[in-house]
Amino acid sequence: MATRKTSPDDPLAPLTLAVGQEDLLLDRAVQQVVAAARASDPDTDVRDLSSDQLHPGTLAELTSPSLFAERKVVVVRNAHDLPADTIKDVKAYLDAPAEEITLVLLHAGGPKGKALLDAARKAGAREVPCAKTTKPAERLNFVRSEFRTLGRSATPEACQALVDSIGSDLRELASAVSQLVADVEGAIDDAVVARYYTGRAEASSFTVADRAVEGRAADALEALRWSLSTGVAPVLITSALAQGVRAIGKLSSARGGRPADLARELGMPPWKIDRVRQQMRGWTPDGVATALRAVAEADEGVKGGGADPEYALEKAVVTVARAARAGR
C-alpha cells in the first residue's frame, strides 16, 4: 500500500480500519488518530465525513497535494454504506495513498460492504477492533482495563458492582470509572461503588437476581419494581436471573475444591464462587430445573411472547425464590 515506513500499531499509518459497532470504541479509534496527528502537527486538518457525504471524486479532492504540505486526517464513517462508485474511488486511493494523509475507515464489519473491508485489509490497514461487548465478562474486562489505563486499580468486587450498577453502556461505564478515579483517593472497592451509585445499584438487574436465588421473594420483588421504574430493560433482568440460576446449577454439580480451582473449572472469578456457595443453600436439582424453566418463560414473555412483561418477571422471580427454599 504505502511507501511510508510505519508500525502496524502506529496511529499515523496511512490507513486505519476501525471494525465493529461499538460507538465508544469507534470514536476512540478516531480520537487516537487525530491526537497523534495533532501531536505531530498542531495544524492538522481533520475532515470527518459520513458515508453519504463522500461522493465520487470527493476523496481525490480531499487527498490532493497541498501547497503547504499539511498533515490531514480523513475520517469516513459507516464505510459499509458507501455506494459502489465511491468504493471504487476508495480502492483506487488505497493503491497509492498520499503522503502526510491518514485515512480512517469506520466499518460495521458485517457482509455489507465486505469488498471494501477486504480491500483495506489487503492494503495493509492498521485494524482496530470495535465489536460490541455482548457478554458480561467482556464488560467486566472493559472496566478493569479502564482503571488500568487511568493508572488506578479496583477490587474485583468493585468492578463487578460497577457493571451491575451501570449496565451494558460502555460510555456510561467509562464515565463512571473516570468519576471514581477523579473523586476517590485510596482503594476503590465495592463499598465505594455502592456509595456513588446507590440508587442505580439497588435498581440493577443483578440485585433482583441475587435476592431471588437467595430465596428472598419480597426483597426480590421490591428490587424488581424499583428496577423497572428506573428504566432497567426487562431483558437484562431475565438475563441476570438466568445467570444466577445457572451459577447455582454449575457449582452444585461441580467437584469440591478451593475457590481458585473451581473458578478455573467453571469459568467464574473466585469471589463469585464464594458468593454462589452462600446462595446455594436450599437449592435442589429439581429446583434448578424449575427455576430455569420459569426464567425461560419470562424471557419469552418480555420479548413479545406475553401480554404483560412485568407480570412475567414477577412470576419468574417468585418461582425462583420458592425454588431456592425448596430444600430447606
The pLDDT value recorded for residue 1 is 36
Mean pLDDT along residues 164-182: 84
Q: What is the pLDDT of residue 213?
A: 94
Cα separation, 208 vs 227, in Å, equals: 8
Closest CA to 161 of 265, 261, 275, 312: 275
**Which residues is 47 bridged to in the sheet?**
74
pLDDT tens track for 209-233: 989 999 999 989 988 988 887 777 7
Tell me what the mean pLDDT of segment 52-61 comes to: 90
Mean pLDDT to the nearest integer, 253-263: 65
- Per-residue pLDDT, averaged over 245-250, amounts to 89
Mean pLDDT over each residue of the chain, to the nearest integer: 86
Strands 126-129 and 15-19: parallel
C-alpha separations of 121 from 110, 183, 328 in Å: 14, 42, 59
Per-residue pLDDT of 4-51, as tens digits, reads 444 557 899 999 999 999 988 999 999 999 999 999 999 898 998 988
Task: Give me the residue label for grid cell 488506578.
Answer: 152
- 8 Å CB contact between 319 and 290: yes
Strands 45-49 and 15-19: unpaired
Is residue 122 pLDDT above 50, yes or no?
Answer: yes
Neighbours of 202 (CB within 10 A): 16
Domains, the chain, with CATH or none: 15-129 (3.40.50.300), 136-197 (1.10.8), 203-324 (1.20.272.10)
Q: What pLDDT was estimated at residue 255?
A: 57
User: Does position 204 have pLDDT exceeding 80, yes or no?
Assistant: no
User: Which of the pair, 159 or 256, is modelled with greater confidence?
Assistant: 159
Q: For residue 154, what is the enclosing H or E element?
A: none
| Burial grade of 48 (CB within 10 A; 0-12, 13-18, 19 or more) | middle
**CA 323/CA 321 separation, integer angstroms:** 5
Asked whether the predicted pLDDT for residue 195 surpasses 50, the reply is yes
User: Which is more confidently placed, 241 or 258?
Assistant: 241
State the average pLDDT over residues 172-198: 85
What whole-number distance in Å separates Cα of residue 88 and Cα of residue 78?
A: 16
Helix (H) or strand (E) segment spanning residue 111 = none
Which residue would you say has higher pLDDT here, 108 or 254? 108
Q: What is the pLDDT of residue 200?
A: 57
For the ranges 88-102, 129-143, 244-258, the lowest mean pLDDT is seen at: 244-258
- Whole-model pTM: value is 0.60
Rounded distance between C-alpha atoms, residue 141 and residue 159, angstroms: 9
Instruction: Spell 282-320 as b/e; 16+ CB within 10 A means b.
Output: bbeeebbebbbebbebbbebbeeebeebeebbbbbbbbb
Measuring CA to CA, how many Å separate 94 from each of 91, 207, 230, 269?
A: 5, 51, 49, 45
Asked if the model's pLDDT at residue 3 lies above 70, the reply is: no
pLDDT the model gives residue 202: 45
Q: Which ranges constitute the DSSP H helices of the chain? A: 23-40, 58-62, 84-95, 114-122, 136-149, 156-166, 170-183, 190-196, 198-202, 205-213, 217-229, 234-253, 259-266, 270-279, 285-300, 309-324
pLDDT of residue 268: 66
Span 71-96, average pLDDT: 93
Distance CA 285, CA 254 (A): 13
At 293 the pLDDT is: 95
What is the predicted pLDDT for the residue at 259?
A: 60
- pLDDT, mean of residues 51-78: 85
pLDDT band with cut points at 50, 70 and 90 for residue 76: very high
Diameter of the chain measured on Cα atoms: 82
pLDDT higher than 70, residue 251: yes
**pLDDT average, residue stretch 271-292:** 85
Mean pLDDT of 121-149: 92
